[in-house]
Structure 1
Amino acid sequence: MNKNEYIPFLSEIVEVIKHTEIEYTFRMAYDGEVKPGQFFEVSFPKYGEAPISVSGIENGCVDLTIRRVGKVTNEVFEKYVGDKLFLRGPYGNGFDVDDYKGKEIVVVAGGTGVSPVRGVVDYFAKNASSRKDMSFIAGFKSKEDILFEKDFEFWRESMNVVLTLDAGEETKEHKIGLVTKYIPQLKLKEVKEAVAIVVGPPAMMHFSVLALLELGLQEDNIWISQERKMCCGIGKCGHCKIGNQYVCLDGPVFRYTQGKHLVD
């Protein structure tokens, strides 16, 4: 008997971490294989479901960082520790840390795009000996919009972290300006072999990749995520189809050599 792929499972909320007034991380009980960049469908009967990227992987848990923007996520924010959410997944193609081991790494992310790359950044912060130099450039609108602030303190101990804000006053921790302003300032030792991950709004990804290519990175060594296109997770609804690719199935993580052709 074939399993119905649309049927979710119940997962307990182990911890809730508040980042901003509208963005919380829900640490969910989950035992199984999962990669950074993959996603789960979070659902409620009568309300619908929403695709949420994996923002962290712990023993027996996954983190789902959720922004309160609609009827499904509004309902999620009514659930707290000890309650349960319906999940199905994980879905999609994620980031494989083996692709980046032994190399110089650059990660560029904007806003909620920090969520799907957090697992990669955290892995190489804890396993610094498995890679060469690493830089993480992350941009947010304002200080009030910063996600994972405590994590940034930890990441700074083992890599070059540039945390940018669109506006405000520059401090030791925060620089002012778009992430693309700081990409040309990177000092890469082996640029032809360096690898990069770029996740964020489409315009930010476009110009960030151009800046990385200008530095000398190779197209095949750059990964992007089309996470904004995720929908049903199993390629049935067709909302994520671009050309002959289904973002839910073939992505949301793509090498740039493939992802650059996914023009919607």
Structure 2
Amino acid sequence: MMENAYIPFPSQVLDVIKHTDIEYTFRLEFTGDVKPGQFFEVSIPKFGEAPISVSGIGDHYVDLTIRRVGVVTNEVFEKYVGDYLLLRGPYGNGFDVNLYNDGETVVVAGGTGVSPVRGVIDALSQSDDPQNKYAIVGFRSPEHMLFKDDLKAWDKKMNLILTVDSAKEGYQGNVGLVTKYIPDLPIQDVNTAKAVVVGPPAMMRFSVMGLLEKGFKEENIWVSQERKMCCGLGKCGHCRIGEKYVCIDGPVFNYTESKGLID
């Protein structure tokens, strides 16, 4: 008998970490192969399901950082330690962290786009040469910051530029869009330097433009089209862009492919 790919499996909530009033990380029991940038379908009977990117990978668990924005996620927020959620996945291709360990690498991420690259940044911060690894991470405001403990750890190990779009008077950190900091990156060799860009569509578009203007090669830039994820299996058609199905061919694409994906 063929296995039904649509049937989810139960996963126990091991921990719940609050970031903001509407963004929590749910640590869920899971054993298996998974990469940063992949995603799971999280479902609750009678309420539906939602695709959520992997924001952390550990021994026998995955982290899924969820924003409370609709019927399914509202119900997910009623689940706490010891409860169960239903999962399908992991789906998609994810980021191959080994691609970015050697040489200069820049990760540019904004808002919830930090979730799928959290594992990438963490790996780079622990690489053999973290001093030639850069992360530009932006949030709407200080109140919207995610993964604050990680941000502190990354700042100590690698070159982290943390910025916010706007802040109240008296804020001591960087204020400005992530694109503001791309021109001044002290990259030694733009011909071999690699970049990963994830975030809202406009932020990704202008960040890639900034990297290309700085001299980065198209083939050395990777992006995630995670906002197009849907059923996970490429069957519903909602993730289709041209001839590509984001749930299957992505959500991670090399920019040489992604630039031709006109939605």
| TM-score bucket (shorter structure) | over 0.9
- The offset of 1:251, in angstroms, is 0.3
- The offset of 1:128, in angstroms, is 2.2
Match of 1:113? 113
Match of 2:232? 233
Alpha-carbon distance in structure 2 between the residues aligned to 1:64 and 1:93: 17
Alpha-carbon distance in structure 2 between the residues aligned to 1:10 and 1:190: 48
Alpha-carbon distance in structure 1 between the residues aligned to 2:236 and 2:131: 42
Match of 1:2? 2
Task: State the SS of the aligned residue for 1:32.
Answer: coil
Equivalent positions of 1:149-188 (< 5 A) are: 149-168=148-167, 169=169, 171-172=171-172, 174-188=173-187
Match of 2:38? 38
Distance 1:170 1:246, change over 3 A: farther
Is the 2:100–2:124 contact (alpha carbons within 8 Å) kept by the matching residues of 1?
no
Structure 1 counterpart of 2:248, one-letter code:
L
- The offset of 1:93, in angstroms, is 1.0
Alpha-carbon distance in structure 1 between the residues aligned to 2:73 and 2:23: 10
Is the 2:131–2:158 contact (alpha carbons within 8 Å) kept by the matching residues of 1?
no
Divergent runs of 4+, >4 A: 169-172
Match of 1:212? 211
Alpha-carbon distance in structure 2 between the residues aligned to 1:209 and 1:176: 20
Does 156-165 or 73-82 show the bigger shift? 156-165
Q: Deviations for 1:20-79, whole angstroms, at most 9, x for unmatched residues?
A: 000000001100000000000000111000000000111111000000000100010000
- The offset of 1:176, in angstroms, is 0.5
- Structure 1: which 5+ residue stretches go unaligned? none
- The offset of 1:157, in angstroms, is 1.1
Match of 1:81? 81
Alpha-carbon distance in structure 2 between the residues aligned to 1:73 and 1:6: 19
Identical columns (%): 64
Task: State the SS of the aligned residue for 2:69.
Answer: coil
Is the 1:26–1:63 contact (alpha carbons within 8 Å) kept by the matching residues of 2?
yes
Alpha-carbon distance in structure 1 between the residues aligned to 2:156 and 2:248: 36
Q: How many residues align?
A: 262
- The offset of 1:87, in angstroms, is 0.2
Alpha-carbon distance in structure 1 between the residues aligned to 2:219 and 2:63: 29
- The offset of 1:92, in angstroms, is 0.4
Structure 1 counterpart of 2:28, one-letter code:
M
Distance 1:12 1:130, change over 3 A: farther
Q: Deviations for 1:190-215, whole angstroms, at most 9, x for unmatched residues?
A: 21111000001111100000100111
- The offset of 1:131, in angstroms, is 5.9
Alpha-carbon distance in structure 1 between the residues aligned to 2:198 and 2:157: 21
Task: State the SS of the aligned residue for 1:17.
Answer: strand
Distance 1:46 1:74, change over 3 A: same
Match of 2:102? 102
Task: State the SS of the aligned residue for 1:25.
Answer: strand
- Structure 2: which 5+ residue stretches go unaligned? none
Structure 2 counterpart of 1:43, one-letter code:
S
Match of 1:68? 68
Is the 2:53–2:226 contact (alpha carbons within 8 Å) kept by the matching residues of 1?
yes
Task: State the SS of the aligned residue for 2:128.
Answer: helix
Matched, 1:138 2:137: yes
TM-score by length of 1: 0.97
Structure 2 counterpart of 1:187, one-letter code:
P
